[in-house]
Amino acid sequence: MSSSFLSSTASFLLVLLYIGSFHESDGAQQGTYIVHMAKSQMPSSFDQHSLWYESSLKSASESAEMLYTYNSAIHGFATRLTPEEADSLMTQPGVISVQPEQQYELHTTRTPLFLGLDVHNAGLFPETGAASDVVIGVLDSGVWPESKSFSDEGYGPVPTTWKGECEAGTNFTASHCNRKLIGARFFYGPVDESKESRSPRDDDGHGTHTASTAAGSIVEGANLLGFANGTARGMAYRARVAVYKVCWKPKCFSSDVLAGIDKAIEDNVNVLSLSLGKRKRDYTNHIAMGAFSAMEKGIFVSCSAGNDGPSPSSLSNVAPWITTVGAGTIDRDFPTLVTLGNGKSYIGASLFKKDALPPKLASNNATYGKSCLSGTLIPEKVYGKIVMCEKGENGRAEKGEVVKAAGGIGMILANRASRGEELAAYAHVLPATNVGQKAGDIIRRYVMTDPNPTVSIVIQGTVVNVKPSPVLAAFSSRGPNPITPNILKPDLIAPGVNILAAWTGALGPSGLASDTRRVEFNIISGTSMSCPHVSGLAALLKSVHPEWSPAAIRSALMTTAYSTYKDGQPLLDIATVKPSTPFGHGAGHVSPAMAISPGLIYDLTTEDYIDFLCALKYNQSQIIKVSRGDYTCDPSKTYSVADLNYPSFAVNVDKSDTYKYTRTVTNVGGAGSYSVKVISETTEVKISVEPAVLTFKEVNEKKSYEVTFTVNSSKPPRFSSFRPSGFNSFGSIEWSDGKHVVASPVAISWT
Ligand SMILES: *[C@@H]1O[C@H](CO)[C@@H](O)[C@H](O)[C@H]1NC(C)=O
Ligand SMILES: *[C@@H]1O[C@H](CO)[C@@H](O)[C@H](O)[C@H]1NC(C)=O
Ligand SMILES: *[C@@H]1O[C@H](CO)[C@@H](O)[C@H](O)[C@H]1NC(C)=O
Ligand SMILES: *[C@@H]1O[C@H](CO)[C@@H](O)[C@H](O)[C@H]1NC(C)=O
Ligand SMILES: *[C@@H]1O[C@H](CO)[C@@H](O)[C@H](O)[C@H]1NC(C)=O
């Protein structure tokens, strides 16, 4: 029963991807248009601009859907229309212009557009001054300073507050820094100088990719082997970058990481981006400790949630003073069409250069190579064939290398169950495509049972406006929080699948030493890619609101994040092809244009975090380890984790009881009254909020409220076919003054 539900949902998703991928090539008349609206002309019959926009759109097209709504400096929306519908929309009252989106197809990191940060929205964030004084420190594998993403053309002098340095070393001199890349340091590690540079130079690619994602300069005509061609830029593309090379082949050692954080604090960075980590049992680990000090200095620390999903409790970097970032897809795919000799076709994903494809690949004999481990393929069986390999046991790039070395001419790489239908694309060293688990099962059966199996792979290039998007990535690590279940993690998700950004000149796009290709940009996936998106967005918020604490910035990003699509349906999780939950997406997908004006924020101070450690019964030596301060918990005081002023709620139920959480919100909007709305999916827990209205007369005024979770069942609610979440139940608490919606996710777990 449940498995047939799963499979039909899965094929539904495949169909959606399939349609998306033919949008460009089928010559359909539809195109994406950006519609600018005259806000002041909104008829009085509407009280929300979005409703007016919807209504105007509906009168021009029955079927068109909002892709984006732009709310601030630019008023309007994006949608897909035929030219006739566009002409008709142009005649509607209040419509200023209806422009086809060709220019956006060129925006390639594409994530600025996907996040609503397209050129027409540029006025939302300052372009100069404050924006270019913000410094993002990236702790990673270093930097390739020659990349155009670090060009300083048009940048003013280095901010006077900057105290960092450009450290020279192997193949790296002080003159490699400039007004964009204002600092570069390295922290020894076990350097094998025959393999990598003892300097800030990035011989790996990862650090160059993350740094350019956070704050890369504008680069036109950026692409990987022709894929995703367009204009690349980082999130905070006016901000400055400082790199701290703390990762070496093969890994990042925490002593180096902590040293990097130390120096970054002294150098006066404003944001720290760490796309690294490991699962930990408590907060006395180096990243958490270093991050605590940074937080104390007002530095926003953004970390990747980990790539250990979809297993529960697989998160890294869960300290509450860190912003923990999971990963979702964007609306761009790199589809391939895999057609079997029996005529059946499946969609995969590939970044193999289209015009380098041998014509022979049109239809070829196929064979099955299991995991395609080095030394396991028999050349006589593989020669001239397309080889099907399974993920796991060795690296996926290495599988391609093994197949190629054995004489194979192509590869189909099937996901294992854990990655489900996720279609991350890779720049393999031979023509290859990744396929989802379901297609993989069918193709394997065919290749193993058909007496003369043949397969063709057609690489289709780049398609955009893929729906649904975002979808939670299967690899994105999941909650519950393994250290403190009463603090919900991850905090939010951001783009992390098939992300284009700058690359090292020392290694090919597959990351294999044998790969002699060199590319300026590469497309890779991971929470390593989503973390620097949030680091860059935090820098943008910092430039608009320099007085905001790291907790305030995180609160703004979280309470304005979205967890449904435009049609109100919940975001999907590609691992289950069912609705994602706050254990996967936290508060939801980041929505930067909304985060500028969150209405209310949940602020936190150093003392609040110390109280949190006291609530966890940390002894004094543990507290000193984390905080470096000489704090003692007051034995006469009752500390509660439930009182940490976090913008989300996680409740751990061990018996029928009431659980009380207090929160304090700070008004950062105008005067007004906020009313609460509670959404809960279970009747076993009653959620009540007191008071239900919060009235603010002035900016920075604080108001507190209490949430009571009354549980009348010590057993979890029964599985619901609508949202079979097992031992968990989810909901949200939303405050709204009619202009802002300040939303907090709720996750209730029965232990
Ligand atoms: C330094 O750069 C040169 C030229 O790019 C290269 O040949 C050499 O291998 C590099 N040295 C190291 C240690 O990376
Ligand atoms: C990328 O797009 C630019 C601008 O349209 C075009 O000039 C260039 O040829 C394209 N490059 C590739 C590799 O497609
Ligand atoms: C495929 O294999 C068959 C025998 O099974 C052989 O006759 C044929 O030539 C092969 N085709 C190619 C393209 O290698
Ligand atoms: C504090 O707690 C840690 C971890 O449980 C323990 O190893 C340490 O001995 C304790 N220190 C003191 C002073 O109690
Ligand atoms: C708990 O209370 C709710 C609402 O009062 C009720 O609908 C639900 O059936 C109760 N559950 C149990 C297990 O008693």
| CA 631 / ligand 4 centre spacing (Å) | 15
The ligand 5 atom nearest the CA atom of 712: 1
Phi, psi of 32 (to 5 degrees): -90, 135
| CA 39 / ligand 1 centre spacing (Å) | 57
The ligand 4 atom nearest the CA atom of 284: 4
Contact 370, 399 (CB under 8 A): no
CA of 688, nearest ligand number = 5
Catalytic residue (choose from 140, 308, 515, 737): 140
Question: Which of 380, 452, 455, 457 best tests ligand 3's pocket when mutated (most atoms within 8 Å of CB)?
Answer: 452
CA of 656, nearest ligand number = 5
pLDDT tens-place string over residues 314-339: 999 999 999 999 999 999 999 999 99
pLDDT tens-place string over residues 78-116: 788 888 898 899 888 888 778 764 321 212 346 777 777
pLDDT tens-place string over residues 206-228: 999 999 999 999 999 999 999 99
pLDDT tens-place string over residues 384-422: 999 999 998 888 899 999 999 999 999 999 999 888 999
Residue 489 neighbours by CB under 8 Å, 6+ apart: 305, 315, 318, 324, 479, 480, 481, 586
Give catalytic status of residue 140 as yes or no: yes
Mean pLDDT score of the chain, rounded to an integer? Answer: 86
pLDDT of residue 701: 98
| CA 118 / ligand 5 centre spacing (Å) | 48
Classify the phi-psi angles of 201: left when phi > 0, otherwise alpha if psi is within -120 to 50, otherwise beta. Answer: beta
Q: Point out which residues pair with 201 in neighbouring strands.
A: 143
Whole-angstrom Cα distance, residue 490 to residue 584? 7
CB atoms < 10 A from the CB of 476, how many?
33
CA of 716, nearest ligand number = 5
Class level of CATH domain 111-331+471-584: alpha beta
Phi, psi of 18 (to 5 degrees): -60, -45
Q: Point out which residues pair with 137 in neighbouring strands.
A: 242, 272
Neighbouring C-alpha atoms within 13 Å toward the C-beta of 418:
14
Domain range list for the chain: 31-100, 111-331+471-584, 335-459, 645-750
| CA 584 / ligand 5 centre spacing (Å) | 27
Q: Is the peptide bond prior to 550 cis by the omega test (within 30 degrees of 0)?
A: no
Most confident of 73-77, 465-469, 569-573: 569-573
Question: Which of helix, strand or coil describes residue 445?
Answer: helix
Q: What is the DSSP letter of 436?
A: -
**Does any ligand 5 atom lie closer than 6 A to the CB of residue 712?**
yes
**Does any ligand 5 atom lie closer than 6 A to the CB of residue 713?**
yes
Nearest to 611 by CA among 586, 636, 634, 594: 634
**Does any ligand 3 atom lie closer than 6 A to the CB of residue 454?**
no
Q: What is the CATH number of domain 645-750?
A: 2.60.40.2310
pLDDT tens-place string over residues 14-41: 222 222 222 232 334 777 676 777 777 8
The yes-or-no verdict on residue 296 having pLDDT over 60 is yes
pTM given for the model: 0.84
| CA 136 / ligand 1 centre spacing (Å) | 27
The yes-or-no verdict on residue 626 having pLDDT over 60 is yes
List residues near ligand 4 (CB under 6 A).
619, 621-622
Nearest to 476 by CA among 623, 314, 339, 614: 314
436 vs 460, which has greater pLDDT? 436
| H-state helical runs in 268-374 | 286-296
The yes-or-no verdict on residue 663 having pLDDT over 80 is yes
At the topology level, CATH places domain 31-100 in Alpha-Beta Plaits (3.30.70)
Q: Give the type of residue at 561.
A: A
**Does any ligand 5 atom lie closer than 6 A to the CB of residue 688?**
no
The ligand 5 atom nearest the CA atom of 713: 13
Whole-angstrom Cα distance, residue 644 to residue 481? 15
Q: Point out which residues pair with 100 in neighbouring strands.
A: 33
Q: What is the CATH number of domain 335-459?
A: 3.50.30.30
Give catalytic status of residue 273 as yes or no: no
**Does any ligand 1 atom lie closer than 6 A to the CB of residue 191?**
no
Whole-angstrom Cα distance, residue 559 to residue 534? 14
Question: Which of helix, strand or coil describes residue 355?
Answer: helix
pLDDT tens-place string over residues 689-709: 999 999 999 999 999 999 999
Q: Whose CA is nearest to atom 7 of ligand 4?
A: 622
| CA 618 / ligand 4 centre spacing (Å) | 8
Q: Whose CA is nearest to atom 13 of ligand 5?
A: 713
Question: Which of 483, 621, 631 best tests ligand 4's pocket when mutated (most atoms within 8 Å of CB)?
Answer: 621
**Does any ligand 1 atom lie closer than 6 A to the CB of residue 170?**
yes
- Residue 722 confidence class, pLDDT cut points 50, 70, 90: very low
Mean pLDDT for the stretch of residues 230-253: 90
- Residue 72 confidence class, pLDDT cut points 50, 70, 90: very low
Give catalytic status of residue 152 as yes or no: no
Mean pLDDT for the stretch of residues 135-149: 97
| CA 568 / ligand 3 centre spacing (Å) | 52
Catalytic residue (choose from 75, 107, 206, 545): 206
The ligand 3 atom nearest the CA atom of 364: 13
pLDDT of residue 69: 63
For β-strands 572-573 and 578-579, DSSP reports them as: antiparallel
